[in-house]
Amino acid sequence: MPAKRYGIGALSRDTGCNIETIRYYERIGLLPEPPRSAGGHRSYAVEGANRLSFIVRSRELGFSVPDIRELLTLVDSGITCEEVKTITLTHLDAIRARINDLRRLETVLQSAAADCEGGDAPECPIIDVLFGHSEAAPQVKAQIETQG
Amino acid sequence: MPAKRYGIGALSRDTGCNIETIRYYERIGLLPEPPRSAGGHRSYAVEGANRLSFIVRSRELGFSVPDIRELLTLVDSGITCEEVKTITLTHLDAIRARINDLRRLETVLQSAAADCEGGDAPECPIIDVLFGHSEAAPQVKAQIETQG
DNA sequence: GATACAACCTGTGGCCACTACAGATTCAAG
DNA sequence: CTTGAATCTGTAGTGGCCACAGGTTGTATC
């Protein structure tokens, strides 16, 4: 009995990955071109579903397409754990840097918003912060300056 | 004596905003079209520099272009502090949500990397995580190798 | 075998917020 | 008047997709 095969729609449902995105991954070489039916429809085996799940999960964890390309190359060629770890740690650094950036933003905006009383006031501390010449919120301004 | 005027290059240096980006902001309507010299070069007054600084700073604080468009509309129309605050708090929520997402990623990747001993091991805990079911690593790995 | 209709095909263009050219023109200094 | 920097317009590319349009194929039912 022949192995089970998936149309692109079934693959999409199984992996939660948009059909257009599956074709996109194929186009950019993350997914190999699958065999086609007589009429040209893509026909996937279970390996295709696994590979796509890997890609989807990696994207969810924030790996870029070039990263994933590299990870897949390693997987295909029997894995050197070392290299996988390197990619992961680099990615982890980027995530941490991003978190720090966002935390700085959070601080600045939070304190600006705290200074703002809302209502119809003719002056707005938040706007002052955005203009960068705030006298109403000098400490906030100082924080922005060191923002980078 | 006539008020001081800036060419686009001077504006770029003063605000730290790329020349192409300045023209882009004009094209999408964040910056008004400035007067031109006889030969067609843009000529900015100090208000233009202020407005651009506002945009640049808002972008640095993570506001989207539509957000900034709205903030500028409020500024132009004499500000309702309330609305500015609403936009800011919404943005703050988005930033916090993003921070939480990233922290989750950080946790997952960090623990996967901690399980990985590096070296030439034939198994990699990180890869297992990316496949989404860590307990069944070897078979899955075999399955991905060849797609039919 | 005919028909209906879902699934699928390719190709193209849009999204965000820019950035990077190419090739023509203008400005300012000497 | 010449030179070279600055600026002009227009187009295309980035990443990671999504959304069509308009045509073809697969499959279930009559």
Give the per-residue pLDDT at A18.
Answer: 94
Residue contact B131–A34, C-beta within 8 A: no
pLDDT digits (tens, 9 = 90+) for A113-143: 888 777 666 677 777 777 764 433 333 332 3
Helix axis angle, A46-60 to A65-76, nearest 10°:
140
Q: How many Cβ atoms are within 10 Å of A53's Cβ, its own excluded?
A: 21
Within chain B, which residues score under 50 in pLDDT?
A: 134-148
pLDDT tens per residue, range A47-56: 889 899 999 9
Q: How far apart are CA B81 and CA A120, in angstroms?
A: 6
Rounded alpha-carbon distances, angstroms, from residue A55 to A29, A67, A87, B72, B120: 12, 10, 15, 41, 23
ipTM for the complex? Answer: 0.73
| Element counts in chain B: helices (H) and strands (E) | 7, 0
Write down all domains in chain B, each with its CATH number in brackets: 1-62 (1.10.1660.10), 117-148 (no CATH)
B17: nt with nearest C1' to CA: C18
Cβ contacts of B120 on chain A, cutoff 8 Å: 80-82
Which tokens is A52 given?
A: 């796509």
How many residues are there in chain B? 148
Nearest-angstrom CA–CA distance, B88 and A110: 9
pLDDT at A143: 32
Q: Per-residue pLDDT for A21 more than 90?
A: yes
**pLDDT beyond 50 at A144:** no
Taking the C1' atom of every nucleotide in all shown strands and the CA of A9, the nearest one is C7
